[in-house]
Each structure stands twice: as C-alpha cells, then as structure tokens.
C-alpha cells in the first residue's frame, strides 16, 4: 500500500510502510470506493519537528533578498504551470471532481502564485520625508515567523495556494496541514518548491487529524494560523488559536444564494445556477445551494433547472464525458442523500431526485445525481444546513426587497449572486446584500488573486480575507520607523514636552 508521509526540512519523513504503532488514515478513490493509499497522521512530536525545521529556516529566508525570493517564486510558478495536468489528475483521483474542474482549480492556485511573484511591489512601504525638521517617518512590513495553514478536502491544491505563496513570498516559513482525505497533492507541491530552489524548512507539510491540528494551535512557535473548512471547526480554530496569542483567519462554511428577478434571461440564469449548484458535486464553498426566485421568475426557472439536473451526466471524474463526479466519502454521500428524505418530510417538493437515474461509474463509487427542491422555506433544515452536495433548494418570494431580506437573514455570508437585466436592481443588491463576494449575472463570484477572497458572519472568523492585499497584510507586521541623523554641530536636544511646540 502506498504511504503518504510528511514533508519536513526538505524531505519526506514519517512512518514507513510496515512500521509499528502507526496512526494512519486511508485515502479512497471516490469513483471506485477503493483504498488508494494510507496517510501518516502526525503526532505532536512530528508537528514539533516541522515547526523546529521552519524556525531554523526562518532567519535565512527572512533575510533572503527580495530579488532572490522572487526568482524562487518564478521558478515555482513555472514548475506548477508545467505540472498542471499531473496535479489535476491527483486531485481527481482523491477528490473525485472532474478533470476539467480539477484543471480549473490548479489554474486558480497558479493565479495566486503569479500574484506572489510581484511581491516586491506589494511589500513597498510608505515614506514621509521631513515630518518634523530633518525627521523622516517610514513604514516597513516584516514577516511574522512560522505560520500554519489548515485546509479542507474540497480544493486540495487551490485553498493551500490561497495561503502559502503569499506567506512564503513575504518571508515567512510555512507548515501546511492539508485535508487527510486528499493529501497527495501537497507532497507534490512540496517537491516542486524544492526543485524551484526553496531552502529546506521554509515549506513543510504535516498530515493528520485533530491531533495534528491541536498541536499546531497550541504550539508557541507558530505566530499565525490560516484555516479554511466548516463553520464549527472554523469557530474552534479561531477561539483556540486566538486565545493562544496567534493571529488567526478562519474561513467557514456557506449557504450561497442566487436571486433571480423576473426580467432575467431564464436559460442563461438556469445554465449558470445549475453549473454552480452541481459543479464539483456541490462540494464548493461558493456553490449556489439556494435560489431565491422573485415573482414570475419561479415557474420557468424551476422547469429549466429540472431539465439541466436530469440531463447532467454523472460518472468518474477522469471520464471526459462526466459533468459531475462522486462525493468525497461514502458517509458524506449518505448524509447528503439523507437530506432528500428530510426535505420531503419537511414539506418541500422534490422535483428531481438524485437517487434516481443512471450513474456511469462503478457501483462502489460514492455517487449521487443532482437533486432539485422547490417550495423550500427558511425554517427547513434543507435550507438552514450546509448540505455540501448536489442538492439545490428553490425558495419563492414576491419582491426584490423580500429576496434581500431573506438572503441577509442567513447566518452565512460567503457569496451571493443576482440574475437580472436591471442595472438599478443589481446596484441596489450589490449595496444591500450582506456577503463577502457578490456576483452580478455571475453565479460563483470567486475573485481573482489580486482581489481578496472571504465572507462575513459565520463564513469568516477574523477580519482579513485570503490573498490579494489582505493576504500580504495577514502575513506581515508593520513597523513604523521615525529617524533623524543629527549633525554633531546640532548639540544636545532635551525636550520633555511631546509633541514639541518649540520647533516647526
Ligand atoms: P472540515 O472543517 O471538516 O476540515 C477542515 C480541516 O480541519 C481539515 O484539515 C481537517 O483535518 C481539520 N479538522 C476537521 N475536524 C476537526 C476538528 N474537530 N478539530 C480540528 N481540526 C479538524 O472541512 P472539510 O469537510 O474538509 O471541507 C468542507 C467545508 O469547508 C465546507 O463547510 C465548506 O464550505 C468549507 N470551505 C469553506 C471555504 C471558504 O472559503 N469559506 C472554502 C472551502 C471550503
């Protein structure tokens, strides 16, 4: 059985196959249900070793010139670019999403590396000459030290890349704890960093579960933690790491709404919404899981969505004909299917039932076809809970104002979209809706790397988003320097009053 080990101080380390007392997890191919590898779960001692390696590397990396750091980043960018297909295939084999989707994920990760290649410009400080006579004030940004990233299963390449390219470019050393469900891509990324010339210890990977996470949260050598995952764990990470004195950003779960106004083009909106609801089997933090149909938009929209849900081909991610792959685990597939029973019991109309219809893959794979509910109300569990699967709920409201009120009453606030041809309504939506990312006739408004990504309310604990200037801000601390260079002839200058009024 292939064993996936940690990456510490520039080499693979951990329990080798056949070791005693292994604490390991299994990695599955969701398309077939087969176990494809075992992954070593880090003990606190292994987390200590990764942090120690990162601490040792920090002094050298923080003082490495920007020119040299940028060279490493460019080399890494080129290596990721030339290994895109390999990375995409690793994602599909362990996550299950279609290859096309996996390729898109790698491309979005690459986007952040390209942003990080421009770090010398983004790290520029401010300078004010002569703030008082012959006194200058300037600000510099410095790295924090060792920082950690804890990431979810649904984007095993892109989400870590929201974090580490910027952290490393800013001069930090990084410890990544990727999802134990699809851990292989992180090791390939570590090898590519090494090939790019990154010194050992600057980028480390520890695999594992809560034991590894808790060791990270408690470790005095870690200055900051970035987390992306479900809301209950995000809240736990935020509270625990902050009370240990760390800087924290913890991105949580979501329930993203698409409001459809009666003037919207039904076919266009249905295509966009079906793609956002069922793409990656609904396992995206920016998936549309709730449609709010306003007035007369409802009937034709439900009809158009039902056609698309029924037609979607569901099968293995590595079959180019599949529009949607399996879910991540058998337990998760069963949990999502359970919501179909719940929704019917709650009184919603199950227009398309994902338990019916053909699956083009193995019977042992974790498949569930797309489902569509109509007549959903805000009290129902199928609306309140983040299902994180290919289940789309349609709620109906009479007016635009009701739609905005409904969206804003959600405890989540990651993304929200509106479909309309009315610019005034779109502008009003953009201003009033409480969500971190807003789409106008765009269903998944995931911002490009030079803007920031993040939500509000229970979708984000902390105040900084990931990447863009927010990422640079999160991974650096600001120092403001006030300096003067007196001439010997100036003599001594003792003043107790501040600010001094005696001198302009
Ligand atoms: P998860 O919260 O179960 O796991 C995320 C990470 O936390 C993993 O590395 C896991 O090992 C660790 N973890 C899990 N349980 C833990 C615990 N009790 N204590 C400490 N650590 C723990 O999330 P997931 O199922 O891997 O990913 C799906 C979730 O992530 C969804 O809720 C989705 O919305 C969310 N997500 C959010 C964003 C965003 O940008 N807001 C992006 C991607 C995914």
SS3 annotation, 297-355: HHHHHHHHHHHHHHHCCECCCCCCCCCECCCCCHHHHHHHHHHHHHHHHHCCEEEECCC
Query: Is the residue at 485 inside a domain?
Result: no
If asked whether residues 26 and 104 sit together in one domain, one would say yes
If asked whether residues 75 and 155 sit together in one domain, one would say yes
Residue 179's closest CA among 216, 210, 218? 210
The answer to whether the predicted template modeling score (pTM) of the entire model surpasses 0.85 is yes
Best mutation site among 233, 332, 452, 466 for ligand 1, i.e. most ligand atoms within 8 A of its Cβ?
Answer: 233
For the segment 79-133, what is each residue's pLDDT rounded down to a tens digit?
Answer: 999 999 999 999 999 999 999 999 999 999 999 999 999 999 999 999 999 999 9
If asked whether residues 216 and 70 sit together in one domain, one would say yes
Minimal-distance CA residue to ligand 1 atom 35: 229
Measured CA to CA, the distance from residue 122 to residue 113 in angstroms comes to 13
For the segment 389-410, what is each residue's pLDDT rounded down to a tens digit?
Answer: 999 999 999 999 999 999 999 9
Q: Is 228 in the pocket of ligand 1 (CB under 6 A)?
A: yes
If asked whether residues 219 and 98 sit together in one domain, one would say yes
Q: Which of the residues in the chain have pLDDT under 70?
A: 15-22, 492-493, 500-504
If asked whether residues 174 and 260 sit together in one domain, one would say no
351's tokens: 């227009």
Q: Is 213 in the pocket of ligand 1 (CB under 6 A)?
A: yes
Number of the ligand 1 atom closest to the C-alpha atom of 209: 11
If asked whether residues 121 and 227 sit together in one domain, one would say yes
Q: What is the pLDDT of residue 10?
A: 97
Q: Is 436 in the pocket of ligand 1 (CB under 6 A)?
A: no
Contact 171, 57 (CB under 8 A): no
Q: What is the pLDDT of residue 487?
A: 83
Residue 117 a catalytic site member: no
Measured CA to CA, the distance from residue 266 to residue 143 in angstroms comes to 49
Contact 475, 467 (CB under 8 A): no
What spacing in Å lies between the alpha carbon of 151 and ligand 1's midpoint?
Answer: 6
User: Could you tell me the CATH number of the domain that includes residue 322?
Assistant: 3.40.309.10
Q: How crowded is residue 123: how many other Cβ atoms within 10 Å of its Cβ?
A: 18
Measured CA to CA, the distance from residue 332 to residue 329 in angstroms comes to 5
List 38's β-bridge partners, or say none: 3, 26
Domain span including residue 120: 3-252+459-480
If asked whether residues 181 and 53 sit together in one domain, one would say yes
Number of the ligand 1 atom closest to the C-alpha atom of 233: 2
Q: What is the pLDDT of residue 18?
A: 46
| Annotated catalytic residue within 117, 170, 173, 285 | 285
Three-state secondary structure string covering 258-285: EEECCCCCHHHHHHHHHHHHHHHHHCCC
Count: domains in the chain: 2
If asked whether residues 132 and 27 sit together in one domain, one would say yes
Q: Is 177 in the pocket of ligand 1 (CB under 6 A)?
A: yes
What spacing in Å lies between the alpha carbon of 474 and ligand 1's midpoint?
Answer: 20
If asked whether residues 225 and 267 sit together in one domain, one would say no
């Amino acid at each position: 059985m292939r064993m996936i080990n940690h990456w510490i101080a520039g080499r693979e380390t951990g329990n080798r196959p056949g070791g005693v007392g292994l604490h390991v997890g299994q990695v599955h191919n969701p398309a077939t249900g087969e176990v494809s590898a075992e992954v070593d779960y880090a003990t606190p001692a292994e987390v200590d070793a990764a942090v120690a390696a990162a601490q040792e590397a920090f002094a050298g990396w923080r003082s490495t010139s920007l020119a040299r750091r940028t060279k490493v980043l460019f080399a890494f960018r080129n290596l990721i670019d030339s290994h895109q297909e390999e990375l995409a295939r690793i994602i599909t084999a362990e996550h299950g999403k279609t290859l096309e989707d996996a390729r898109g994920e790698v491309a979005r990760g690459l986007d952040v590396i390209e942003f990080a290649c421009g770090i010398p410009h983004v790290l520029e400080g401010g300078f004010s000459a002569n703030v008082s006579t012959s006194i200058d004030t300037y600000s510099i940004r410095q790295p924090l030290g060792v920082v950690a990233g804890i990431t979810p299963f649904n984007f095993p390449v892109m989400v870590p890349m929201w974090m580490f390219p910027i952290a490393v470019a800013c001069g930090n050393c990084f410890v990544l704890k990727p999802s134990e469900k699809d851990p292989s891509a992180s090791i390939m990324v570590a090898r590519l960093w090494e090939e790019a010339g990154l010194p050992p210890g600057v980028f480390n990977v520890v695999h594992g579960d809560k034991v590894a996470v808790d060791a990270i949260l408690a470790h005095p050598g870690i200055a900051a933690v970035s987390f992306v995952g479900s809301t209950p764990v995000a809240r736990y990470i935020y509270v625990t790491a902050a009370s240990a004195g760390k800087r924290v950003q913890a991105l949580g779960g979501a329930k993203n709404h698409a409001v459809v106004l009666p003037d919207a083009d039904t076919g266009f909106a249905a295509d966009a919404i079906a793609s956002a609801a069922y793409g990656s089997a609904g396992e995206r933090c920016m998936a549309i899981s709730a449609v709010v149909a306003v007035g007369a938009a409802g009937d034709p929209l439900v009809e158009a969505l039902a056609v698309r849900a029924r037609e979607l081909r569901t099968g293995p991610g590595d079959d180019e004909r599949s529009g949607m792959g399996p879910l991540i685990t058998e337990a998760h597939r069963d949990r999502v299917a359970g919501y179909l029973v719940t929704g019917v019991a709650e009184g919603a109309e199950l227009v398309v039932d994902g338990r019916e219809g053909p699956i083009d893959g193995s019977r042992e794979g974790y498949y569930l076809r797309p489902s569509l509910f109509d007549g959903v109300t805000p009290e129902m569990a199928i609306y309140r809970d983040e299902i994180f699967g290919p289940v789309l709920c349609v709620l109906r409201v009479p007016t635009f104002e009701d739609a905005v009120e409904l969206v804003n009453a959600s405890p989540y606030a990651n993304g929200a979209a509106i479909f309309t041809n009315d610019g005034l309504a779109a502008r009003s939506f953009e201003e009033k809706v409480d969500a971190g990312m807003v789409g106008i006739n765009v269903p998944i408004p995931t911002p490009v790397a030079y803007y920031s990504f993040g939500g509000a309310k229970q979708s984000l604990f902390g105040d900084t988003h990931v990447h863009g200037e927010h990422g640079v801000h999160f991974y650096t601390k600001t120092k403001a320097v006030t300096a003067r260079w007196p001439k010997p002839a100036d003599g001594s200058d003792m003043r107790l009053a501040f600010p001094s009024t005696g001198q302009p």
